[in-house]
Amino acid sequence: MKLGDHSIKPTKIICLGRNYVEHAKEMKAKIPKEPIFFVKTLNTLVTNGNPIIYPKLLYNTQEYNRVDHEVELAFIVSKTCKNIQSEHAYEYIEGYTIFLDITARKMQISDRNINLPWYRSKNFDTFGPIGPRITPCSEIEDPHNLELQLKINGEVRQHSNTKYLIFKIPETLAFLSKFITLVPGDIIATGTPSGVGPIQPRDLIEASIEQIGKITHKVILEE
C-alpha cells in the first residue's frame, strides 16, 4: 500500500478503544486502567480519495442502521517489536498518519450487550480509511500535541488534540508488545476523541491532523 512517498505492507491494524476521557464518557463506558485494544482486518484499508462503502446489510435494517466516524492518530511500526520498554518506543516508529476507525455502531453495541467481541462491527470493507501520507517521526516534534479534526459536508463533528490521549504512544507500544509481535508496516490507531456520530450515503468526510495533512472520502451505499 502506498501512503505518500512510503510503501508499507501491514500485517495487522491494532486500535485502541476509549483512549480519550470525553469519548469514554459519551459511550457511557468506564475510563480504562490499561490500554484496551482490538484488531481490524486488512480488508478495511482504503487510501485517500477512495469511497467508504456503506453496507446494504446495515443500511436496510432498523437494527443495524448506524455507522459512525472516528478520527484517530495512527503510527506505523518500523521494525520488529516485542517486549520493548517504553523509553525505546520511538526507535520502533516509522511515522504518523490519519486513520478512520469506521464502526457499525448499533451492531457493536448489540454485540457488546450479549458479550460478543467488536470484531464484525469494525471490519466491513473500507471501514479503515488511511493516509494521506506517513509523516516521519523526525518531522513531528511532539506527537502528543497535534490538533485533529473531522468534518462532514463541511461541518466540524470532531475536534480535539492528541494531548488528551489517556495512554501515550510509548506506553501503548510497550504494552502491545507484551502480547503481540509487531512487524514493520503494522498500523496502530490511538483511539478517537469525542464527537463520534453517524455517517450517511453521499456524505463527504474530511479528516485532518496537524503536520500530517487531510484525507477526503465520499460515503456511498453498497450496490
Decide if residue 68 touches Mg ion (CB under 5 A).
no
Cβ atoms within 10 Å of 179's Cβ, excluding its own:
11
If the CB atoms of residues 70 and 186 are measured against Mg ion, the closer one turns out to be 70
Decide if residue 70 touches Mg ion (CB under 5 A).
yes
**Dist CA 133 CA 60 (whole Å):** 35
Closest to 95 (Cα-Cα) out of 128, 131, 127, 42 = 131
What part of residues 155-214 is at the interface with Mg ion (CB under 5 A)?
Answer: 192
Question: Residues in the chain, how many?
Answer: 223
Rounded to a whole number of angstroms, the minimum distance from the CB of residue 72 to Mg ion is 6
Decide if residue 78 touches Mg ion (CB under 5 A).
no
Task: Give the interface segment with Mg ion, choosing from 67-75, 137-145, 150-158, 212-220 (CB under 5 A).
Answer: 67-75
Q: Is 109 exposed, middle or buried (0-12, 13-18, 19+ CB in 10 A)?
A: middle
Rounded to a whole number of angstroms, the minimum distance from the CB of residue 87 to Mg ion is 27
145: CB partners within 8 A, 6+ apart: 161, 162, 163
Decide if residue 101 touches Mg ion (CB under 5 A).
yes
Rounded to a whole number of angstroms, the minimum distance from the CB of residue 91 to Mg ion is 26
Q: Which residues of this protein are in contact with Mg ion, per CB under 5 A?
A: 70, 101, 192
